[in-house]
């Protein structure tokens, strides 16, 4: 145990990882999304992609108790189930792509995907049509590939929900449930593939403590009347994380 704790404290950039995951928790609590978009670009400065993905998903699993109960009551569970089913099938493909690519390429992929997601959200694009079953499955499958490849589990589904016409409360609940399912799927694949050891588990638990705490704070701050404010705060934090995590700086 002392050796594992020593490894945790020796983690490169540990202070910044704790700070960023704490901020991400607040944003996740009041908006329902944003953790990966905030944490992954910054964590990639200090850690290899496989470790970043493991930490992101394990921390998400550890914090589920803070958000799942309320989200379960408010979400469109059948729809989220279809999205999650398609994503679970394609996660292994995303992890394989991540292992094939070099670290710098993965970081550029993270920057492009996160930055592109943010640009579309800020532009205010809206989709007023109806998505049929094949469309739902395609959205879920794309989310699984991107989540496995980069650790960005949310962008595809975030764009799907935030670009639609659903109210903020339903969007938040659906997103929370989907991300929880995808986190479990990625963690399971990493464990099965031998990519997660006790060092990663210990670091994930360390990060989960501030993340769980700040997520509860963010959830307490959530008020549907302030939907626009929440979105713009989330956008600003995501933009800062994306710029900070560009491979140009480190």
What pLDDT digit, counting tens, does each position of 179-234 carry?
Answer: 888 888 998 898 887 777 888 889 998 999 999 899 888 888 777 777 777 778 88
Reported as a pLDDT band with limits 50, 70 and 90, residue 2 is low
Listed in sequence order, the DSSP H helices in 32-167 are 35-46, 49-62, 68-74, 77-100, 103-123, 133-150, 155-162
- Alpha-carbon distance of 8 to 59, in angstroms, equals 15
| pLDDT confidence of residue 250 | 60
Three-class secondary structure of residue 249 per DSSP: coil
Whether the Cβ atoms of residue 113 and residue 150 lie closer than 8 Å to each other = yes
Mean pLDDT for the stretch of residues 147-154: 88
Q: Which of 39-48, 116-125, 155-164, 228-237 has the lowest mean pLDDT?
A: 155-164
- With tokens 């070099």, the residue in question is 102
Q: Is the pLDDT of residue 168 over 70?
A: no
Q: Is the pLDDT of residue 28 over 90?
A: no
**CA Rg value for the chain:** 17
- With tokens 């399912």, the residue in question is 181
Arithmetic mean of pLDDT over the chain:
85
**What is the CB neighbour count within 10 angstroms for residue 10?**
9
Q: How far apart are the first and last CA of the chain?
A: 32
- Alpha-carbon distance of 146 to 156, in angstroms, equals 8
| pLDDT confidence of residue 20 | 94
Greatest mean pLDDT range, 40-49, 68-77, 225-234: 40-49
CA 37 to chain centroid: 6
Q: Would you report the helix, strand and coil content of the chain in percent, each value rounded to 5?
A: 80, 0, 20
| Domain boundary assignment for the chain | 2-244
| pLDDT confidence of residue 15 | 94
Burial class from Cβ neighbours inside 10 Å (0-12, 13-18, 19+) for residue 178 reads buried
Between 166 and 214, whose confidence is greater? 214
**What is the CB neighbour count within 10 angstroms for residue 246?**
16
| pLDDT confidence of residue 105 | 93
Whether the Cβ atoms of residue 32 and residue 154 lie closer than 8 Å to each other = no
What residues have CB less than 8 Å from 196, skipping those under 6 apart? 54, 58, 187, 190
Torsion of CA 238, 48, 92, 154, to 10 degrees: -10
| pLDDT confidence of residue 223 | 74
């Amino acid at each position: 145990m002392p050796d594992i704790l020593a490894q945790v404290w020796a983690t490169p950039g540990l202070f910044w990882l704790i700070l960023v995951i704490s901020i991400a928790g607040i944003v996740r609590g009041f908006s329902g999304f944003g953790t990966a978009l905030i944490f992954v670009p910054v964590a990639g400065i200090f850690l290899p992609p496989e470790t970043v993905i493991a930490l992101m998903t394990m921390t998400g699993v550890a914090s589920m108790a803070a958000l799942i109960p309320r989200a379960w009551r408010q979400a469109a569970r059948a729809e989220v189930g279809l999205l999650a089913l398609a994503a679970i099938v394609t996660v292994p493909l995303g992890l394989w792509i991540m292992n094939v690519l070099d670290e710098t390429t993965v970081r550029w992929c993270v920057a492009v995907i996160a930055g592109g997601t943010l640009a579309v959200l800020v532009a205010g694009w809206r989709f007023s049509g109806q998505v049929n079953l094949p469309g739902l499955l395609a959205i879920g499958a794309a989310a699984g590939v991107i989540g496995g490849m980069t650790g960005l589990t949310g962008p595809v589904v975030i764009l799907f929900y935030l670009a639609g016409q659903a109210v903020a409360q339903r969007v938040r609940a659906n997103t929370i449930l989907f991300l929880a399912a995808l986190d479990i799927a990625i963690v399971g694949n990493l464990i099965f593939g031998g990519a997660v050891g006790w060092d990663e588990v210990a670091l994930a638990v360390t990060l989960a403590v501030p993340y769980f705490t700040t997520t509860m704070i963010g959830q307490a701050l959530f008020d549907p009347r302030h939907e626009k404010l929440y979105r713009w705060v989330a956008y600003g934090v995501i933009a800062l994380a994306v710029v900070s995590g560009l491979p140009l700086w480190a």
